[in-house]
A and B are shown apart, each in its own frame.
Chain A
């Protein structure tokens, strides 16, 4: 479904992404791991159009998407959440998700119809699904950090994506919130059949939910394979998991 072929992006003299390769097939959960500064978030920015690669190709469903603006890539079927909470702080929880749904339905240019309650059924079902229904009328700025991260995912779901990209979905969450978030990601994959690509620092969590793992070091791909293959790979052990294996 998604294929990144030797993507390269430099900032000045620094190659943040340096020949990264990634393959995601429909229906699976793929994790990208790697030390701080390995280029995981930058790679995600390349895929969603927030940055364009200097060279290499990014294909989604067989079509080249590298260099397209974010809103066009979103319409092709890729939604994402961000590492740092990135929501509409002055709007309510309901409105946050509503904008994503309106955008998908191409209704954002309607200037004379009443927005109140529009698409309410779908928004409510998304909010029920992620467990934020009870807080739907709260100003999103006032949610807890964990709830805001979940709202991030809910906003991404509003685009009814085929591929959902989550950039450190549990960063900064309390342990019980993390637990809830993992269950949510699993459920999205199992019940909605979503293809999910995520990156995460919590290695335990990665091995728990990912079907396949891509390891990035210094902007390049070390290996992409099943959890077992990654665990056994010596290069990964030395570069990232530590000599003892870590998991």
Chain B
């Protein structure tokens, strides 16, 4: 599809030009949109492609952020190492939690994950001497190149594009297809010889890793971390992004993330009840567009193609 490639290139061009056209605050918002989109896409790998009830994805986002933040503030090691440690810590935590949770299915998996994730949250929340407790860590020193809003934005853009490309590749791989099979029918998958739990575990680690990358990017953009990043309500919000954009499309969650972040920024100018607006929109989407906004668009597009063929 050449039209689609052209559209993506155009979007990329706009994103590259953005900091030159917008005031600093909006460049910051754009960077938040990008990394939140990355976070939602990473969650969707587990929930949309794998059918795994990943209810507490924000924990991996938070651990990615804290891992990087602690490396940058508590050690004298080179900064790039910190950027690697965050995502790896998230992947490792995901593996550890996954080994325990993957024995359960569906809702039970989700409930256990929320419990374990909340343990991680409360540890971060209370451990003042190490994590800064509920204050979090602020003014995290960054390498000079990332110190400006523009620098942070371009770094975020580059990493997000790379990660999305990698996840897209994974989604289109034999592993990704097998994952969709497990989502559709785990019993059947096992009956054709697929080790369901092993595939789910690998998925969780991949999703946790990319969630951690998003967390690291947040440190770069915001130079701060705080425990609310990994509170379970934020996990719910990321889940809503997937639902809103469309779980069964690759870019749906990204679109959902953009919609929610922008809604929060702009609607909260006018009302402190911005989540009420979100609630109404979400209700309408679930009733009228159960496949999500992008899912609906894709379906329309396919139907159109079928009609013209």
A interface residues with partner B (beta carbon < 8 Å): 48, 50, 69-71, 74-75, 79-80, 82, 86-91, 95-96, 98-100, 102-104, 107-116, 118, 155-156, 158-159
| Inter-subunit contact B193/A115 (CB<8 Å) | no
Q: Which of B35-43, B104-112, B183-191 contacts A (4 or more CB under 8 A)?
A: B183-191
Closest to B190 in A: A70
Closest to B202 in A: A109
User: Can you report 14 residue pairs joining A to B where beta carbons are below 8 Å apart?
Assistant: A71-B190, A71-B195, A82-B188, A86-B185, A87-B188, A91-B177, A91-B184, A98-B177, A103-B178, A108-B199, A110-B173, A114-B172, A115-B172, A115-B176
| Inter-subunit contact B173/A71 (CB<8 Å) | no
| Inter-subunit contact B190/A69 (CB<8 Å) | yes
Q: Closest CB-CB distance, A235 to chain B, in whole Å?
A: 34
**How many residues from B make CB contacts under 8 Å with A?**
28
- Chain B residues in 8 Å Cβ range of A50: 187, 191
Closest to A80 in B: B191
| Inter-subunit contact A74/B193 (CB<8 Å) | yes
What does the 1/0 interface line of B273-288 toward A look like (CB < 8 Å)? 0000000000000000
Closest to A89 in B: B184
| Inter-subunit contact A115/B177 (CB<8 Å) | yes
- Chain A residues in 8 Å Cβ range of B173: 110-115
| Inter-subunit contact A71/B180 (CB<8 Å) | no
- Chain B residues in 8 Å Cβ range of A98: 177
Closest to B169 in A: A112
Given contacts A99-B177, A108-B178, contact A155 B192 (CB under 8 A): yes
Q: Please measure, in the bound complex, the distance between the C-alpha atom of A113 and the C-alpha atom of B174, giving whole angstroms.
A: 7
Number of A-B pairs, beta carbon distance below 8 Å: 111
- Chain A residues in 8 Å Cβ range of B176: 111, 115
- Chain A residues in 8 Å Cβ range of B248: 90
Q: Which of B163-213 contact A (CB under 8 A)?
A: 169-170, 172-178, 180-181, 183-185, 187-196, 199, 202, 206
Not counting A75-B193, A89-B184, a sample of 17 additional A-B residue pairs whose C-beta atoms are within 8 angstroms of each other reads A71-B191, A79-B191, A86-B185, A88-B181, A88-B189, A91-B181, A91-B184, A95-B177, A103-B189, A103-B193, A108-B175, A109-B175, A109-B202, A110-B174, A110-B175, A155-B188, A158-B192
- Chain A residues in 8 Å Cβ range of B185: 86-89
- Chain A residues in 8 Å Cβ range of B175: 108-111
- Chain B residues in 8 Å Cβ range of A100: 192-193
- Chain B residues in 8 Å Cβ range of A155: 188, 192
Q: Closest CB-CB distance, B103 to chain A, in whole Å?
A: 13
Interface centre among B169, B180, B188 (most CB of A within 10 A): B188
Point out the residue from A70, A104, A118 that lies within 8 Å of B191, measured CB to CB.
A70
| Inter-subunit contact B194/A108 (CB<8 Å) | yes
- Chain A residues in 8 Å Cβ range of B177: 91, 95, 98-99, 102, 115
Q: Closest CB-CB distance, B213 to chain A, in whole Å?
A: 16
Point out the residue from A79, A87, A99, A112 that lies within 8 Å of B178, measured CB to CB.
A99
Q: Closest CB-CB distance, A50 to chain B, in whole Å?
A: 7
Closest to A95 in B: B177
Q: Closest CB-CB distance, B41 to chain A, in whole Å?
A: 16
- Chain A residues in 8 Å Cβ range of B188: 82, 86-88, 155
Q: Closest CB-CB distance, B81 to chain A, in whole Å?
A: 25
Given contacts A86-B187, A95-B177, A109-B175, contact A103 B194 (CB under 8 A): yes
- Chain A residues in 8 Å Cβ range of B199: 108-109
